[in-house]
Amino acid sequence: MAAEKAKDAITFLKKTPDVLDSTVYDHLVDIVGKILLNKPVGAVDLLETSYMTKKDFTAPTPTPSQAKPLIKQKPKDTAKAVAVSELFIPPQPEIDPDTGEAGDLPVANEYTTENVLGDAALFASVGVGFSESEWYSIMLTLKKLGEDTVKELNTVRFFGKFFATGGEYYVFESTLKNEPEPPPESEDPYLMPPEEFGTGANSYTYWVTTKLGGPYTQLPDVTPTMITQARKIKKFLTGDLKAEVTAYPVFPGKEAEYLRAQIARIAATTTICPGGFFAVGDDEVTLDNNEEFAPLGAAAMSETANWSHRYAHIKDQGRCVWWAPPPPEEEEEEEYEEPTPEASPALLNSLDKDTVVNGGTAWSALKSSQIPSLPHQTVGMRSNLWPGAYAVCLGDKFSNVYIGWGVKNERLPPTMPPVVNEEWLPFTDKEGVKITCQELTDLPPPPPPPEPEEDEEEEED
């Protein structure tokens, strides 16, 4: 009788599998094995052995049908992840195919740049910027661009990030070691020429990439027409440099040219520095470091009067330097009046002289702390005219960045279409002047129908 009960109990224990397809009988066998191997003393040790046996149990590998499906990633996101991961790969030496030995590392281009991670800490203290991982990827992307031996950059800095409806643009500002070939001059002497390389709105060369670590695209030089037409429209970027700029008035170029025009406008208006950090050179164009600069405290740097514009102002012409068109040939020199040059703010003009924005101030101050007596406070300035433009300062260290949609904070009335041409009617007055529909009062009588021509039939003899 007892043997039958034991047999029924063993059968029952073998028919109760758990979630891991292991029966109670199998688990008890493992416990007995552990007891015989470790020889514990007491029921507590027995329970502990049971717990450890259950914990050490290895579940079988699930079949492909039982495995959870992987989350399908978009190809665009995968490309971004691959591009960023390649930034962390150190440069590898070239392998000699004959000997198989590693050669010297490729010589990188020498360039000058700002402390990206140090500036990131300053921006973070006033609540501006990106995550630490994105800042680090930006730093590596800048390093990759600066070390490129083909581009041969002299200086490079991170300008900012432009949001777009279909992506984003990371923009880098640089100067080149070698001056490129100038574009061909226009045959029209009355067409306003762009500013030369390294001067005015073309003082810097800009590079853009849609994903950190990806390929760079050099933006074209900006022309006066691009700037003047960009001022007449307000449009979001799409994320495609080859996209058409569908707007009125018609913009002369693709999105690459429009982005370059917006960069020129933002840079000229929002690139600032602490007052007195630079001094205007003898040529009244370049800026030199002021050796007598004395950093101000946080309270003083919260005033717009102690900040200065660093880049030259862009005139209504679309240029930083005034251009006077040549006098028309058909007019005599005595009758021709040369246009008056447009006055612009001087270099290093203070921010307190900027015009108001929508009835308020053009700049707002930012602080890392509201405690006045706290030392080493970071002070920043936020542009209210171009939302997304920021500047920070701590002692003799300062930096600028733009993170926005590339849209100006101002009311932009739409440009009216041109006047419709007058419609001319095929009627003339007594003097032979064509009559327009506005001048027409009574319809003239229609012309008489043409008389049919009579065919002359030859008489037959």
pLDDT at 349 exceeding the cut of 90: yes
Q: Which of 404, 419, 453 is the last residue of a domain?
A: 404
**Based on the domain organization, do 173 and 290 belong to the same domain?**
yes
Cα separation, 147 vs 249, in Å, equals: 41
CA distance linking residue 132 with residue 119, whole number of Å: 12
Q: Are 19 and 60 contacting, i.e. CB atoms less than 8 angstroms apart?
A: no
Question: Considering the domain boundaries, does residue 81 fall inside one?
Answer: no
Residue 19: is its pLDDT beyond 50? no
Confidence of residue 59 (pLDDT cuts 50, 70, 90): very low
Q: Give pLDDT, residue 369.
A: 92
Q: What is the pLDDT of residue 378?
A: 96
pLDDT digits (tens, 9 = 90+) for 195-227: 999 999 999 999 999 999 999 999 999 999 999
Same domain assignment for residues 159 and 34:
no
Specify whether 146 is located in the same domain as 268: yes
In this structure, the answer to whether residues 147 and 39 fall within a common structural domain is no
Are 392 and 122 in contact by the 8 Å Cβ rule? The answer is yes
Is 455 inside any structural domain? no
Q: Are residues 48 and 136 in the same domain?
A: no
411 located within any domain: no
Domain presence at residue 267: yes
| Same domain, yes or no: 47 and 131 | no
Q: Supply φ then ψ for residue 139, to 5 degrees.
A: -60, -45
- The DSSP string of 159-197 is EEEEEETTEEEEEEEEEESSPPPPPPPPS-TTSPPPPPT
Per-residue model confidence as pLDDT tens digits over 234-279: 999 999 999 999 999 999 999 999 999 999 999 999 999 999 999 9
* Nearest CA-CA partner of 12 in 1, 3, 25: 25
| pLDDT band at residue 1 using 50, 70 and 90 as cut-offs | low
Confidence at 383, pLDDT banded by 50, 70, 90: very high
Kindly report the number of other CB atoms within 10 A of residue 181's CB atom: 6
Q: Tell the residue number behind the tokens 């390294």, with chain if given.
A: 198
> Higher pLDDT residue, 39 or 86?
86
Confidence of residue 50 (pLDDT cuts 50, 70, 90): low
Mean pLDDT computed over every residue of the chain = 85
Q: Higher confidence at residue 191 or residue 79?
A: 191
Q: Does the residue 334 lie in any domain?
A: no
Q: What is the pLDDT of residues 66-85, one digit of tens each?
A: 555 555 667 777 888 888 88
Q: What per-residue confidence (pLDDT) applies to 89?
A: 85
**17 and 121, same domain (yes or no):** no
* Residue tagged 């028919």 (tokens): 15
Residue 72 domain flag: no
- Same domain, yes or no, for 235 and 353? yes
Query: Would residue 66 count as lying in a domain?
Result: no
For residues 203 and 199, give the distance between their C-alpha atoms in angstroms, rounded to a whole number. Answer: 4
What does the alpha-carbon distance between residue 203 and residue 195 come to, in Å, rounded to a whole number?
Answer: 9
Quick one: 31 and 156 in the same domain?
no
**Cα 95 to Cα 104: distance, rounded to the nearest angstrom:** 9
Residue 101: its pLDDT value, please?
A: 79
Range of the domain at 46: 10-53
What is the number of domains present in the chain? 2
- 457 part of a folded domain: no
Whether residues 44 and 130 share a domain: the answer is no
Q: Both 42 and 183 in a single domain?
A: no
Helices (H) and strands (E) in the chain, counts: 9, 14
